[in-house]
Structure 1
Amino acid sequence: MSDPVVLVSNASMPGHAASIRDLFDGAEDIKIAVAFLKRRGADFIVPILGKQLRAGANVEVFVGTDFFHTDPCALEELLTLKQRHTACMIRVADRAPATFHPKIFAARAGATCRSLIGSANMTGGALDKNEELSLCVTHALDDTIGKSIEATFERYRKWSRLQELDPLLLQQYSSDHAIDKRERDKYEKARDAALPAGIDLRVISDWHRLYLANPKAMSDLAARRRSRAKALRLQRAIAALSDGPTTQRAKAQLRDGLGDLMGSSGGAHLWGSANIPRQGSKALEHEKEMIRFFELARSMSHRPAQEGYDAIRRAGDLIPGVGLNMATEMLCTFAPTRYAIYNGNTVGALRALGIETARYAQFHAIGPARYAQICETIRALGTRIGTTDLSEADAFLNWIYFEVKAGRLQAKRA
């Protein structure tokens, strides 16, 4: 490495292992500070350090133990090296709220210093497999970077958090590490069992191709577009009834319109959610409140999702028969680019994608902030597949729900 600054990556030669070996070859003074030390890292570095120590070099190594990521057996290798060479100093950082996280390999040969500073710890993966980036800098001992590096290591030498490695410290850390591993294994087993069955999200594009090639899905999508246009006209007409008295004619218009939206009593079923009529018919007993509710949804359709949903949720919760399905169908019809439909099929489809949310589509289960997050999530799905609005994305989610339920799509992690 003749250049004063060289970018080191494991994706090109020389990688980190070769760079470190070259860095320390012939060095008279070696300093290392890493957050984590694994067994493969120790197996790699200890012979290199031993060679330089036998040639008369001084070696200082500072190792972190946060999160118990450092292997006790790796520290044991360093302790053995230290016990064989008086010019070798090994210090270990106590665990603390602020992580000991440096990654620097510094070497001096005569008046020339070279330092490798970047992302690589002393682990097998960091040496040759991980995506790591470091700068290997050639500098002088007394230039700006040389002085800064020396000042950093001098601070490490005096820092009470860093203790000299000895058999007592090693045994204490080994015991704590064993306890952590035992408890971590329990936690990871429970965590893996609790995680939803997600997928590699890149599969969505493949699923979308299947969706586009499905004649029934495309027929349903075309029907949804037609129904949505009719539903919008009906909703606007019902909302406009709030401008006048709630006459018998207005009540009849509400009943007929809401029946067509929900699909109750032979209505046209312009909203897609299938379960609305089961509870929604109770809302017909509260004509005045429902007319105001439609007008509120129309006025809130221009507001951000969190704000609009909050207002509609508060009002809808006071009207028997009004639920999350109905409210979000109404909002999505008024503003399909801003509001997402949320019902049981949405829950099932999101879970198939590995996104955990409330199991039941109810007002009390989905708060305003969470609903706004769901809208953004569904919008992101729509962006991936090129839909024009959240209603079109909902159609795709609906298809996913039924395909997964029927076993035609496998919702498994890649």
Structure 2
Amino acid sequence: MKLLLNGYDSGHGDEIIGLLANAEHLECMVAFAKSSASETILEPLKQAIARGMTARMAVGLSLFVTDPAMLYELFKLEKNSQNKLELYMSSTEETFHPKVYAVREPGGHRVIVGSANMTAGGFSNNYEASVLVNDRDGALMASIQEHFGGLIEEGALARATMPRINEYAKLYAVHEAWRKMASRRAEKICRGDMHSLEVLADWLADMKADDSPCGFTAQQTYRARDRLIARRRVKEIAGLGKVTRDTFLEAYEGLLGCFHSGGLHRGKGIVSQKSNLVISALAELLELKRATPAEAFELLHSHFEDIERAGINVLTEILHALDNKRFGVMNRNAVSGLIVAGYDQYPLRPLKTNVTPELYEQFCRDVREVQTQLELENLSELDALFNYVYWLND
């Protein structure tokens, strides 16, 4: 057994070519194959097949990383191999991700299993790690062949044909064009050179087409109902006065049930220990008339500063419940959504120690701008979109 690493003097490509030198049969499964590796692998592969080696190869199409050009080269080699080479392509929605090179030789079997794909990076340039196993009794080789056959039987692998490669090539061209454009735009957004709502707009279109409880129409209904109930419960808590911890906890649980930030219930017991601060904070908040986001935030923050587990998400959910056209919910989901659009000045984990009233004021301006450009009715709808994007990408 030997550890393989790419280095200055040798790499995976050298070892894989070495396997072909005396091989009688090759079993090869890779996630990606790119034309960058063609100069390294194709000629040794042709020579091995010409002297009698048989081979079975499977190439993954997941994520559109495999080059169609490499598939055409391998398919051409198969057609000229006089049935010595069988070429397969992945045919599954799940990611096809193995990297296996296994050969039968006159004196036994050798197998490489690890991280190296059939690419220039995998063969020499990338940091890769694999194990070369001297499989003398052929047990490992037999397992690989059985697994390969099983993937064919279950339909995860399909025999390569020219129509299949052509269809993949069309899809690859589209994905590659969009990937390059997205890369250029992402660089500009990361540098702060531009804002772009294209990604959020695409997700919004998907969300509007989604008829599940996570879809836009359902979320409109749920959130409109929940916000009305939350407003009533904020007022009820503000009027509690001096109450027992259990009475407060019951009212506070009812309020949290109307919010859409995750994990709020885990801190309810701790918050209930400072119920008097929460009650007085909400009572004072309701006395404010047309307060700016900074003013409303500062008032709640001054009361909540010493209340553990009453963080920025709780604070801004309360403000949002009172006015969903001026106050946005500030949590990880919302910040992540803004980053996608190029608004990157906010901490990924908003905390009472890193969000100031001025920063929250700016946050509210930014989310209102995004809401307007996406033609959404209010910030509740935008928050629903942020959650949709966050959880489906998590």
3-state SS of paired residue (2:130): strand
**1:165 counterpart = 2:128:** no
Tell whether the 8 Å contact from 2:58 to 2:88 is kept in structure 1 after alignment: yes
For 1:127 and 1:57, the matched residues in 2 are separated by 22
Residue number in structure 1 paired with 2:28: 32
For 1:10 and 1:328, the matched residues in 2 are separated by 57
For 1:81 and 1:371, the matched residues in 2 are separated by 51
Alignment CA distance shift 1:183-1:95 (3 Å): farther
1:103-118 alignment, distance < 5 Å: 103-118=99-114
Tell whether the 8 Å contact from 2:59 to 2:90 is kept in structure 1 after alignment: no
| Displacement after TM superposition at 1:73 (Å) | 0.7
Letter in 1 for 2:298: M
For 1:372 and 1:165, the matched residues in 2 are separated by 44
Q: Find the structure with the greater CA-based Rg.
A: 1
For 2:349 and 2:331, the matched residues in 1 are separated by 14
3-state SS of paired residue (1:147): helix
Ranges in structure 1 where 5+ consecutive residues have no aligned partner: 199-288, 344-360, 380-389, 402-414
Residue number in structure 1 paired with 2:149: 154
Alignment CA distance shift 1:141-1:93 (3 Å): farther
Q: Which moved more, 1:370-379 or 1:158-167?
A: 370-379
3-state SS of paired residue (2:144): helix
1:191-340 alignment, distance < 5 Å: 191-195=186-190, 197=192, 306=264, 315=282, 318-320=286-288, 324-327=296-299, 329-331=301-303, 333-334=305-306
Please provide the CA RMSD for this pair. 4.8
Amino-acid identity (%): 19
Alignment CA distance shift 1:23-1:319 (3 Å): farther
Tell whether the 8 Å contact from 2:304 to 2:311 is kept in structure 1 after alignment: yes
Tell whether the 8 Å contact from 2:38 to 2:70 is kept in structure 1 after alignment: yes
**1:73 counterpart = 2:69:** yes
| TM-score normalised according to structure 2 size | 0.55
Tell whether the 8 Å contact from 1:29 to 1:57 is kept in structure 2 after alignment: yes
Alignment CA distance shift 1:154-1:339 (3 Å): closer
**For this pair of structures, how many residues does the alignment match?**
275
- What is the CA deviation profile of residues 65-123 of structure 1, one whole-angstrom value per residue up to 9, with x for unaligned ones? 12221111111111221222124424333443212211100111114111111111111
For 1:125 and 1:33, the matched residues in 2 are separated by 17
Tell whether the 8 Å contact from 1:341 to 1:394 is kept in structure 2 after alignment: no
Residue number in structure 1 paired with 2:234: none
Letter in 1 for 2:60: G
Residue number in structure 2 paired with 1:180: 175
| TM-score normalised according to structure 1 size | 0.53
**1:133 counterpart = 2:129:** yes
Letter in 2 for 1:53: I
1:81-120 alignment, distance < 5 Å: 81-120=77-116
| Displacement after TM superposition at 1:64 (Å) | 1.2
Tell whether the 8 Å contact from 1:31 to 1:106 is kept in structure 2 after alignment: yes
- What is the CA deviation profile of residues 17-62 of structure 1, one whole-angstrom value per residue up to 9, with x for unaligned ones? 2221222221111111111111112332111111211221112211
**1:121 counterpart = 2:117:** yes
- What is the CA deviation profile of residues 235-292 of structure 1, one whole-angstrom value per residue up to 9, with x for unaligned ones? xxxxxxxxxxxxxxxxxxxxxxxxxxxxxxxxxxxxxxxxxxxxxxxxxxxxxx6996
Residue number in structure 1 paired with 2:318: none
Alignment CA distance shift 1:331-1:74 (3 Å): farther
Residue number in structure 2 paired with 1:272: none
| Displacement after TM superposition at 1:169 (Å) | 2.7
For 2:28 and 2:126, the matched residues in 1 are separated by 19
Tell whether the 8 Å contact from 2:331 to 2:350 is kept in structure 1 after alignment: no
| Displacement after TM superposition at 1:190 (Å) | 4.7
| Displacement after TM superposition at 1:184 (Å) | 3.4
| Displacement after TM superposition at 1:315 (Å) | 3.0
Alignment CA distance shift 1:122-1:325 (3 Å): same
Ranges in structure 2 where 5+ consecutive residues have no aligned partner: 194-237, 250-261, 316-323, 337-345, 363-394
Letter in 1 for 2:105: A
3-state SS of paired residue (2:297): helix
Tell whether the 8 Å contact from 2:99 to 2:116 is kept in structure 1 after alignment: yes
| Displacement after TM superposition at 1:125 (Å) | 1.1
Alignment CA distance shift 1:331-1:130 (3 Å): farther
Tell whether the 8 Å contact from 1:91 to 1:164 is kept in structure 2 after alignment: yes
Alignment CA distance shift 1:99-1:63 (3 Å): same
Residue number in structure 2 paired with 1:203: none
For 1:61 and 1:167, the matched residues in 2 are separated by 16
For 1:331 and 1:375, the matched residues in 2 are separated by 22
3-state SS of paired residue (2:349): helix
Tell whether the 8 Å contact from 1:305 to 1:372 is kept in structure 2 after alignment: no
